[in-house]
Amino acid sequence: MEHNQEIRRIVVKVGTNVLTDGTESVSSDTVANIAREIDLIRRGGVQVVLVTSGAITEGRSLLEGSGMYTQSSVDASTTSKQVLAALGQVPLMKRWVEAFDGLDILSAQILITRRDVQDRLSYLHARNTILNLLEAGSVPVVNENDVLATDEIADVNIGDNDHLSALVANLIDADLLVILSDVDGLYDSDPLLNPEAQLIGQVDQVDEYIRSVAGSAKERGRGGMASKVNAARIAMESGSSVLITNGRSPGSLVSAVTPTKNGTYFRSRTTNVESRRRYLLSEYANRGVVVVDDGARKALSEGASLLPVGLVGSSGTFERGDVVEVRAESGARLAVGITNYSLEDANRIRGVQSEDIDSILGYEYGHELIHRNNMVVISS
């Protein structure tokens, strides 16, 4: 497999239509096939985060098997769908765990809501957790926490975790978001109605024409091409390219990280590094400043995280999760980043070793004042 060396981290979104493979329940064979392709991608040095749907379908299957399921009692309300999601999360995750275990791959479950990504502190928690899991060599398996969130369930225009997958791609600075669909990609017209419909190979901008040919949501699950195209737009704006490809075609996922990818490729005009740099540089101004010694300055220039031991001063009004400016003792601006600790905490742990943070504060949010994954170096 000829691997695209520019792709180092991807998000794979698999929806209900792909997982059920045209049936009324999640297919173990489909889960196993996707896991094997993820394994092949990882062998090429690419980190993979999986966003999976299927919890509601699994829950419905459990109730049907118990004889307690009725169409009117379960499908009539968002609350009932939350019940199905709660019932289905465990068996759904069990399928993925067993599939990855068979490949000697550790997997971890991440349940998040859109609010978790929008809230500054929750964003930091989620980002750090997923990135640390990737560094540990595992495959984080992400799903919407349907028991707490209603947006993905109640609004068919949002989609079957499509929007969530775009937010996760932005969250972890993914190079590529792969959306596995039950069709080959985006066509210029409905291929079910028009046998002459042509697959659109590449999209550089999601404009009115692209939105118009995307159509509307499908029956099973809650996603459709319209929601996938909207997810692609969100991901592109944050620096991640997107590929919509047929998840039922063997090898389609593996081909996503090669030059000969199959499907519709949405090419981002910017990189996630550039996007994150713009975000951090636009946010730092009124948050606060931390001043570091020469040893920390040199470490930052070499790509290291900022540790409390290198901190000599701090000012402002920042809280944990805020963006702050990093300055040298000379006053030179060195970097901007998201701080793991508030101003009060930073003053208390100034100059101390990381292993002493817990004994001083009584808690710990990590060994770093600012992790390198959450920082943009301006100068050295």
Per-residue pLDDT reduced to its tens digit, 249-283:
999 999 999 988 899 999 988 776 676 666 676 65
Instruction: For residue 159, tell me if it sits in a domain.
Output: yes
d(CA 151, CA 354): 40
Judged against a pLDDT cut of 70, whether residue 150 lies above it is answered with: no
Say what the pLDDT of residue 269 is: 80
> CA dist 282 to 204, 240, 256, 277, Å?
26, 20, 33, 8
Judged against a pLDDT cut of 80, whether residue 305 lies above it is answered with: yes
Say what the pLDDT of residue 112 is: 86
Instruction: For residue 279, tell me if it sits in a domain.
Output: no
pLDDT tier for residue 156 given thresholds of 50, 70 and 90: very low
Instruction: For residue 169, tell me if it sits in a domain.
Output: yes
The region of weakest confidence among 82-91, 216-225, 227-236, 291-300 is 216-225
Question: Residue 362 is part of a domain; what is its CATH number?
Answer: 2.30.130.10
Say what the pLDDT of residue 158 is: 36
Here the tokens at position 154 are 């109640």
* Residues 325, 252 share a domain: no
Q: In what order do the strands lie in the sheet with 311-316?
A: 311-316, 288-292, 323-328, 333-338, 375-377
For Cα atoms 45, 46, 49, give the angle at the middle one, nearest 5 degrees.
Answer: 145
Q: For residue range 167-192, what is the model confidence (pLDDT) as tens digits?
A: 899 889 899 999 999 889 999 988 88
* Residues 134, 36 share a domain: yes
SS3 of residue 328 by DSSP: strand
* Residues 300, 242 share a domain: no
Mean pLDDT, rounded, for 87-103:
94
pLDDT tier for residue 284 given thresholds of 50, 70 and 90: very low
Tell me the whole-structure pTM to 2 decimals: 0.77
Which domain range does residue 306 map to?
A: 284-377
Length of the chain: 380
CB 177 within 8 A of CB 240: yes
Say what the pLDDT of residue 220 is: 39
Say what the pLDDT of residue 90 is: 92
The number of domains in the chain is 2
* Residues 112, 54 share a domain: yes
- For the chain, report the end-to-end CA distance as a whole number of angstroms: 39
* Residues 155, 44 share a domain: yes
Alpha-helix residue ranges (DSSP H) falling in 191-307: 208-214, 225-237, 252-255, 272-283, 294-301
* Residues 294, 188 share a domain: no
Instruction: For residue 191, tell me if it sits in a domain.
Output: yes
Q: For residue range 206-220, what is the model confidence (pLDDT) as tens digits?
A: 998 998 888 743 433
What value does the mean pLDDT of the chain take? 85
